[in-house]
Amino acid sequence: MRRAIYPGTFDPFTYGHIDVLERALNIFDEITLVVAVNSQKKPLFTIEERVEMIQQSVASYSHVQVERFEGGLLIEHAKAMGVKAIIRGLRQVADFEYEFQIALMNRHLYPEITTVFLMPNEKYTYLTSSIIREVASLGGDVSDFVPPPVLKFLEHRFNHQTK
């Protein structure tokens, strides 16, 4: 059984993340989406809200789990779970330096776990959660980029229709 985790802040979860998840499911038997804390970010949605919107968004997928992870090193969590791989999406060159730093540090901390980078479809190359938050907050239509449950959370948060 090949198991991997796909960690991220997912604030919010987008079709770009789903694209990476689907690619990962072609390689691994089971993926756990780990909603984690990035100490550099102040999220719009609470960790509970992010877990909820992701659970609703991936409800139709088999072999996908969603869990939260706060206060600790992700690599220690991965080790405790017994997974051998960490999935990360790589969209463009700009992602590379940051991802390289995290992957190398994680490998230094625990060499048995490998970070696997997957490229989402080109149409998501310039998609980020920040841009979704900004456009949705100003009333723009983001329905091409986020699954319906996430759209509902955004509408509720910004109190207007985003479509």
Query: Which residues in 98-137 contact ligand COA (CB under 6 A)?
Result: 102, 105-106, 120, 124, 127-130
Euclidean distance between CA atoms 101 and 107, whole angstroms: 10
Q: Rule CB under 6 A: is residue 27 a binding residue for ligand COA?
A: no
Coil, helix or strand for 37? coil
For residues 84 and 116, give the distance between their C-alpha atoms in angstroms, rounded to a whole number.
Answer: 10
Residue 147 within binding range of ligand COA, rule CB under 6 A: no
Near ligand COA by CB under 6 A: residue from 31, 66, 74, 78: 74
* DSSP class of 91: -
Shortest Å, Cβ 123 to ligand COA: 10
160 is catalytic: no
Nearer to ligand COA, 1 or 26 (CB): 26
Active site residue 17: yes
Q: Does 89 bind ligand COA (CB under 6 A)?
A: yes
Helices (H), 47-128: 47-57, 74-81, 93-109
Out of 27, 73, 94, 138, the residue judged to bind ligand COA by CB under 6 A: 73
Active site residue 77: no
Number of residues in contact with ligand COA, rule: CB under 6 A?
27
Q: Is the peptide bond before 12 cis (omega within 30 degrees of 0)?
A: yes
Among 17, 54, 113, 115, binds ligand COA (CB under 6 A): 17
How far is Cα 49 from Cα 153, in angstroms, rounded to an integer? Answer: 8
Evaluate whether 113 touches 85 at the Cβ level (below 8 Å): yes
Quick check: is 91 catalytic? yes
| CB atoms inside a 10 Å sphere around CB 16 | 22
CA atoms of 63 and 59, how far apart (whole Å): 10
SS3 (DSSP) at 143: coil
Active-site positions read 17, 41, 91, 129
Give the residues lining the site for ligand COA (CB under 6 A): 7-11, 14, 16-17, 19-20, 36-38, 41, 73-74, 89, 91, 102, 105-106, 120, 124, 127-130
